[in-house]
């Protein structure tokens, strides 16, 4: 008890805050400064970084982005991608977490296997699945060998399903990461709650609905918000799979920003980045607040 009070005393000491200064300086240098620089550049026409070529544009860059004929398509695809991937990662992540939360031989191996895709490079994953989803790739060949020709599709070249194919790859890659979040929440639940529920005759599904889900709401909140933000900011998976095609069927906000920067319109690209930042905050913050209200006090 005395050691706890002594530790709290050290934490309240002003010297403890001095130890945080290096971390704050690194954060400001690597995150805050680039963000402010991007915000500043969004108000200028920047074709090159020679001062003589930079001219003030005001809100023109923002207006140009909003007038872009592909802007509405990018917004629609981004929202669709975020919704589908969030549902997939949360549902499958929760299912895997419930599975590997049990005690059986090889459970640690299974946890590692399920989490492994999360550590792979996004571009490498996209290129591998691009080959697998080719009309003559591994997926269609496997379906044909199994006599399931009716399920064969042009996964990345059919405008109707291309965005869902991209979403599938995103779900495959990040479900294991979501599983770990849920697993941490499941393992923090006191076993006495389940013992009391069993004494009352509750079935597994009743325990899941009345005990497990309410008590892992903080983990659910984290998983949903991270998935939503990741879905809204998607770029590398889509770029490596389809380059935004066919046509603009898989164009998302990230590819819209990329096209601005790649064409040399740095100011317009920064404006698009700022719009995306506002868009993410507009959706993520209310989502976080809504789920937080469902959390229960233990």
CB neighbours of 230 closer than 8 A, spacing ≥ 6?
A: 85, 170, 174
The model's confidence at residue 2, banded by pLDDT at 50, 70 and 90, is: very low
Q: Provide the 10 A C-beta neighbour count for residue 137.
A: 15
- Which token pair is 283? 């959706």
| DSSP code string of 121-185 | -HHHHHHHHHHHTSTTSHHHHHHHHTT-GGG---TTT-TTTHHHHHHHHHHHHHHHHHHHHHHHH
* The model scores a pTM over 0.75: yes
In CATH, what is the architecture of 61-292? Orthogonal Bundle (1.10)
Q: Mean pLDDT lowest for which of 72-81, 82-91, 153-162, 190-199?
A: 190-199
How confident is the model over 53-66, as a mean pLDDT? 89
218: nearest Cα among 101, 296, 102, 115:
296
Q: Domain extents for the chain?
A: 61-292
pLDDT digits (tens, 9 = 90+) for 90-100: 999 999 999 99
Pairing assessment for the beta strands 55-56 and 44-45 based on DSSP bridges: antiparallel
Paired strand residues for 44: 56
Write the DSSP assignment of 7-58 as a string of letters.
HHHHHHSHHHHHTTHHHHHHHIIIIIHHHHHHHHHTTEE-SSS-GGG-EE-T
């Amino acid at each position: 008890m005395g050691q706890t009070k002594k530790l709290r005393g050290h934490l309240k000491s002003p010297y403890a805050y001095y130890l945080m200064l290096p971390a704050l300086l690194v954060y400001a240098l690597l995150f805050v400064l680039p963000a402010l620089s991007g915000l500043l550049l969004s108000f200028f026409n920047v074709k090159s970084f020679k001062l003589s070529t930079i001219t003030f544009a005001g809100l023109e860059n923002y207006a140009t982005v909003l007038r872009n004929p592909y802007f509405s398509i990018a917004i629609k695809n981004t929202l669709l991608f975020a919704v589908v991937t969030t549902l997939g990662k949360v549902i499958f992540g929760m299912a895997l977490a419930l599975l590997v939360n049990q005690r059986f031989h090889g459970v640690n191996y299974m946890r590692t296997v399920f989490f492994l895709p999360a550590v792979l490079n996004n571009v490498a994953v996209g290129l591998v699945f691009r080959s697998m989803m080719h009309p003559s790739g591994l997926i269609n060949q496997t379906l044909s060998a199994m006599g399931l020709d009716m399920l064969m599709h042009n996964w990345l070249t059919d405008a109707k399903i291309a965005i869902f194919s991209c979403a599938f790859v995103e779900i495959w890659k990040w479900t294991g990461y979501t599983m770990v979040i849920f697993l941490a929440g499941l393992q923090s639940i006191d076993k006495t709650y389940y013992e009391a529920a069993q004494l009352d005759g509750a079935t597994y599904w009743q325990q899941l609905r009345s005990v497990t889900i309410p008590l892992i709401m903080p983990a659910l909140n984290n998983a949903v918000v991270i998935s939503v933000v990741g879905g809204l900011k998607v770029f590398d998976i889509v770029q490596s799979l389809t380059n935004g095609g066919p046509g603009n069927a898989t164009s998302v906000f990230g590819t819209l920003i990329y096209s601005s920067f790649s064409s040399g319109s740095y100011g317009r690209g920064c404006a698009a980045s700022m719009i995306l930042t506002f868009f993410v905050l507009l959706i993520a913050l209310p989502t976080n607040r809504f789920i937080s209200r469902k959390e229960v006090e233990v």
